A and B are shown apart, each in its own frame.
Chain A
Amino acid sequence: MTETSTKKLQINHLLGMENVSEEDITLMLDTGMSFREVLERPIKKVPTLNGKTIVNLFFETSTRTRIAFELAERRLSADVVNFAASGSSVSKGETFKDTVQNIEAMKIDMIVVRHSSSGVPKFLTEISNATIINAGDGAHEHPTQALLDMMTLREKFGTLKNLRVCIIGDISHSRVALSNIYGLKTMGAIVSICGPKTMIPKHIEKLGVKVFHHIEDVIPNVDALNVLRIQRERLSANLFPSNEEYNKYFGITKKRLEKSTKPITILHPGPINRDVEISSDVADSEHSLILHQVLNGVAVRMGILFLLGTKTKTN
């Protein structure tokens, strides 16, 4: 007989990390770790979500996140349908709401959604009965990325409490940054951000993070760096003068990291722009957990799908 426990996920959908409790985050991370064992098995598939149908609703192109979700879903034996639409659904002549309600009419249980407009996962909960998982909405949140980052850090350091983490790059346009800030703060980590002033949103310090504009000020006082990808299109928006200048003043290089007395752990949500935000000697170093993040990405998503997918709906 399996022991019943009082542990239960409080959330019914995973829309973001804001307002997710420490207990819920811990449960998701613990469950993610349990699935790491499943990923080591010769048969990496369990029948848990047999009979559940999950739709991956991607309105914005994504390779990694979608593959990680799809693998996680298939390894839990769910039936998986992929729906990809580029740009605005309105431009296709069908509204987002119609699209969703059409899909829902086919009897589905969960929707994993990515969209360029912030707030779409929340909107989905209003127009659909399915369980919603946010796979990235605008520059708002990307909770599963934050959970896999936290899982990776917790695995390395044992705890997130008082862990000093700095997120580096374009914070204004980053859902990864925001979800990490919310999640890490809830878990008791000490979070700072660093980037050119043009890439730091107004009033972000109200979230309880310290803001830096010079990498040199950060490096002596952190345990881990989460290096964000620099998007090419930000160049035309005048957020920084050139890739070269960004690399020169904000790029994470081995030489810069040597300023720290102890090794600093490196995370990156991928895909990497080598020699823009991070140099190869750092990305490929022993302190880089970038590939480990990818592994944890599948495990933690299996955990989230398991926890939400097996949750009885309370009416």
Chain B
Amino acid sequence: MGKKQNERIMKTKIIDSKTFTRILNRLAHEIIEKNRGAENLAIVGIRTRGEYLSKRIAKTIFEIEQIPLLTGALDITLYRDDLSQLDKPILQGTEIPFDVTNKKLILVDDVLFTGRTIRSALNEIVDLGRPQNIQLAVFVDRGHRELPIEPNFIGTKIPTQKSDDIQVMMKEIDSEDGVYII
């Protein structure tokens, strides 16, 4: 993602904070509906923002179903296929404090693009155990897939140029909730 400095960056907000919350709530509802409740569900977010998304979804599901979900965070750095091209790989570590085997695992990421991150995440989860199934929830699907990967739950679809950059912002680490196209 070539973010060149010194160049004027055109930044357009396409989702504001209100819409952001609505989308998240809808995703939570869809997950419950598809799984007929929240029994045996576990939710794992891909670091960094997938983790915060997954925690918010878990919170919403708890408010609706009164069932606390097992949550975890996945760092896919060790499974990336482009490690040696990265300037500075940084390891945050995977934290999944439960056995994934036989769980219905919801995998959450902020932006679905080429599909390579999801490929890495699937490989890592499979090394951790054998879930009953894995379902993919993404906040933004921006197209341009390079691998045959389709999400089960989509927050919003945003048509993009391949050279565009989609930025999901979250209050937990950014100044606000929202989505920008750059």
Contact = CB atoms under 8 A, between A and B. Distances in A.
Direct touching of A and B (C-beta under 8 Å): yes
A303 B89 CA distance: 12
Interface residues of B, number: 32
B129 A48 contact: no
A312 B87 contact: yes
Contact of B84 (A6, A7, A8, A312): A312
B87 A306 contact: no
A4 B165 CA distance: 14
Interface in A160-208: none
Nearest to B83: A310
B84 A310 contact: yes
B9 interface: no
Interface stretch (B16-24, B29-37, B72-80, B155-163): B72-80
B123 interface: yes
Contact of B93 (A6, A34, A76): A34
Given A2-B76, A37-B93, A48-B79, A43 B85 contact: no
Interface in B84-122: 84-95, 109-111, 117
A302 to B, nearest CB: 9
Contacts of B92: 2, 34
Contacts of A41: 127-128
Nearest to A48: B78
A7 B77 CA distance: 14
A261 to B, nearest CB: 37
In terms of DSSP, what is the predominant structure of the interface of chain A? Answer: loop
A93 interface: no
B76 A5 contact: no
Given A46-B78, A48-B78, A312-B84, A7 B127 contact: no
A38 B78 contact: yes
A39 B168 CA distance: 33
Given A3-B47, A4-B90, A43-B127, A37 B84 contact: no
Contacts of A47: 78-79, 123
A34 B92 CA distance: 7
Nearest to B92: A34
B49 interface: yes
A34 B91 contact: yes
Contacts of A42: 127-129
26 contacts: A1-B109, A1-B110, A1-B117, A2-B90, A2-B117, A3-B48, A4-B88, A6-B88, A7-B88, A8-B87, A31-B91, A34-B91, A34-B92, A37-B94, A41-B128, A42-B127, A45-B127, A46-B124, A46-B127, A47-B123, A48-B79, A76-B78, A303-B91, A306-B78, A310-B84, A310-B86
Interface of A: 1-8, 30-31, 33-34, 37-38, 41-43, 45-48, 76, 303, 306-307, 310, 312
Interface of B: 46-49, 75-80, 83-95, 109-111, 117, 123-124, 127-129
Closest 6 CB pairs of A and B: A34-B93, A46-B78, A8-B88, A43-B127, A3-B48, A5-B90
Given A2-B90, A34-B91, 20 more contacts: A1-B49, A2-B47, A2-B117, A3-B48, A4-B90, A34-B93, A37-B94, A41-B128, A42-B128, A43-B127, A46-B78, A46-B124, A47-B78, A47-B79, A47-B123, A48-B79, A306-B78, A306-B89, A310-B84, A312-B87
